[in-house]
Amino acid sequence: MREKIEIKFGQRLKELREERGLTQREVAEELDIHSVTYLHYEKSQREPPLLLLAQMAKFFEVSVDYLLGLEDF
């Protein structure tokens, strides 16, 4: 039986942003997206395209697997 994967994407984004003392608007500007769009990602209401997901991982200096909750570091 396959293990169920719990997606922690929005929660991880928020934690990473807050650890760096950034606002949602500041992160959105760095990623060149609208701040409301970023808000939807943090609330897990939308999923980013793959290229943006990679940009987020690079910006926060973590792996895509970490953002998706597949690993804990």
72 located within any domain: no
70 vs 7, residue with greater confidence? 70
For residue 20, give its domain range: 9-62
69 located within any domain: no
Number of domains in the chain: 1
Other CB atoms closer than 10 Å to residue 18's CB: what's the count?
10
pLDDT of 73 reads 65
Query: What's the angle, vertex CA 54, arms to CA 46 and CA 61, rounded to 5?
Result: 110
pLDDT of 71 reads 82
1 located within any domain: no
Quick: pLDDT tens for 6-47: 568 999 999 999 999 999 999 999 999 999 999 999 998 999
Q: Which residues contact 23 (CB under 8 A, 6 or more apart)?
A: 17
Give pTM, 2 decimals. Answer: 0.88
- In the structure encoding, which two tokens stand for residue 27, read together? 């992160």
The answer to whether residue 3 scores a pLDDT higher than 70 is no
67 located within any domain: no
